[in-house]
Structure 1
């Protein structure tokens, strides 16, 4: 049975030039030292796997980015899962998902223990003051690189890009309808379907075939762990926009609906997510720890990431089988341009929260200048130096 399904949908790319173990080690490292949130992490993957190592083709990367934007859940984790799927299918996707998430999960659990044990993280505001603005510089640089690579010189793609960026800045959210609309417009302009065909077929509705979004939410009102599982599975299954959009959704449930945390505790949780590497939505692990200890952290993290895992590997075969057809290719290009525009718009949205005075402006500009002039400066070193300087500068400006 499995063999027949695999043969039906499995359209393999060229043989992998790397081992599964090498890929796992890469994502373990990225999950351990990859700062900057989804925009930066997707940029790192492009730089390392497409440009430097040539493990992943640019076409496969673009397919993964488009699918990650179409499906709900954390963008960076979904892209990582898809890239693991490209050559090593379900085994690769599963191992990449685990190794990418587990380092930051361990970190947020440790920080959650310290938070509970020592009555709060009073030093965190000082660290986040500098790190947050430096991260904006990292994100801006990676957004620039991603834009130049994915949009190119096509005027229609640039129009889609600017519209998506503008909408993201104005609404401070990312809309799935915007991505789907961009894909449909570019498809109709660049590779319109043949409406004269007598019989309808999958080819006539190629972009429609890849909009297979599945969702699941556990329904139970008994026990705090069940409530955690129910709420965070909804966050993972139904919230679009990755770290940018999930924060207000989490606030509404964690603070307003359930009253698990107060507003200050929630802000501390968001700060933890920003100063730790890996996916921003790993903050769900920190929140879960504050609510119900290690069990709460584990349930919250699993409930958040399991839907995004399924929503990546289930549609992936259709991307591999039909992604090279003109209609699908045009649709993906349109979605990718919109996604890149939204990512660039998110730089401004996040920057308004992190860059608040002259020192934070300098942190962001110096970080951007360092990355622009010297591509050899590791981002974790920049983050570490910014954190140390923040501990010194923050008390002086408050």
Structure 2
């Protein structure tokens, strides 16, 4: 059965068929039968609360709005997913924002975005609030955190392998991935993250086999205000400013918003970037706290970027959890709507797409650097090697959920401690 809606021939007695919600013609405006905002909020909230990971949220949204409600065709929904991968940020949240925009315009985008973020915001903030409780502290024992870090590193390594197989194919893409990896292993400056992505995109643009093609995009008044703001945030993040502790604290949220504009390829790519921002003396977040945040991430619903409320709370309390979440997720939500309005031109521009392919290949280096960061903080012991082998088998071969692997590792550790203290 063809998912593309057929077009009714216009006659004196048969008016033309109205655009359907999933029709490509309706991507720039809300559909005629508009989704109630409360219904949209409730559906996305429940789906997000039941989704562990951004890919799971995308699958749940597709199942509900394509299979069950028939609000989108498969072709139209695949466009939403493709655009979400092209834009930085949490992919699952980007898809939710686009669904809301397609069903109810700007108001729907805000409602769906808030509903997608709220479940993991509440969960991770609760983890941070009870961080000093005996339960969390028992989970945060240094040796158990090291075992969790090994599982985390194994998961990131598997994700890196799969991403490389999916997005790195040509010689230029391999050069971009290898070169970016080598540079990021030598320097951890925020400017390096931004410059690498910019250089990779320009290399793909210049080396594109298609020549003489112009990218003509007409920005409206709001776009002309939004684009300079987003660019200035990226520049603020990238500049190696000699910041005093006072200014480093004051500029944390604008720099976090700029960092969000550089994260392609999923949540694990955020680890080295967020480490640069949060693991700093004025903020009081230690490497142990940072590792625990990512270890708790799979236990909470939402994408792996759900660590933001946790880190924000450790920095500034409840205000920090809210400010960090807003700073990180709102800019990428605005950018995805900006890109959505110009989707057709972007899809048809071969040089732009070629540049994005090379950029995505370079972004895989963030994952391998994250593995190195995890490995260098774990002692080389036989028990940790055993945990790594166990994690690779469970996650790579058996495809077990990561929270189940964490649970088995924690149970094994608890049994070992009990036996050792008898």
TM-score by length of 2: 0.65
**Alignment partner, residue 189 of structure 1:** 207
Q: How many residues align?
A: 346
**Alignment partner, residue 183 of structure 2:** 167
Aligned counterpart for 2:385 among listed residues 349, 354, 361: 361
CA shift digits 1:211-247 (9 cap, x unpaired): 8734569xxxxxxxxx978632432235645332122
Offset of residue 61 of structure 1: 4.3
Query: Are 1:388 and 2:404 an aligned pair?
Result: no
SS across alignment from 2:177: helix
**Alignment partner, residue 6 of structure 1:** none
Offset of residue 301 of structure 1: 2.9
Conserved in 2, the CA contact under 8 Å of 1:27 and 1:99? yes
Which shifted more, 340-349 or 91-100? 91-100
TM-score by length of 1: 0.68
**Alignment partner, residue 362 of structure 2:** 338
**Alignment partner, residue 249 of structure 1:** 277
Query: Are 1:267 and 2:288 an aligned pair?
Result: yes
Aligned counterpart for 2:170 among listed residues 154, 168, 173: 154
Aligned counterpart for 1:179 among listed residues 172, 177, 197: 197
Bigger Cα Rg: 2
Partner Cα distance (1:129, 1:154) in 2: 37
Query: Structure 1 83/139 Cα, relative in aligned 2: closer, same or farther at 3 Å?
Result: same
**Alignment partner, residue 110 of structure 1:** 126
Conserved in 1, the CA contact under 8 Å of 2:125 and 2:321? yes
Partner Cα distance (1:379, 1:29) in 2: 15
Conserved in 2, the CA contact under 8 Å of 1:101 and 1:279? no
**Alignment partner, residue 297 of structure 1:** 321
Any unmatched runs of 5+ in structure 1?
A: 1-8, 35-40, 69-74, 196-200, 218-226
What are the equivalent positions in structure 2 for 1:300-339 lying under 5 Å apart? 300-339=324-363
Conserved in 2, the CA contact under 8 Å of 1:83 and 1:93? no
Query: Structure 1 287/122 Cα, relative in aligned 2: closer, same or farther at 3 Å?
Result: same
Aligned counterpart for 2:151 among listed residues 103, 126, 134: 134
Q: CA RMSD in A?
A: 4.5
SS across alignment from 2:87: helix
Partner Cα distance (2:379, 2:336) in 1: 34
Any unmatched runs of 5+ in structure 2?
A: 1-23, 68-73, 218-223, 235-247, 264-269
SS across alignment from 2:130: helix
Offset of residue 175 of structure 1: 1.4
Tell me: higher relative CO, structure 1 or 2? Use CA pairs within 8 A at least 6 residues apart.
1
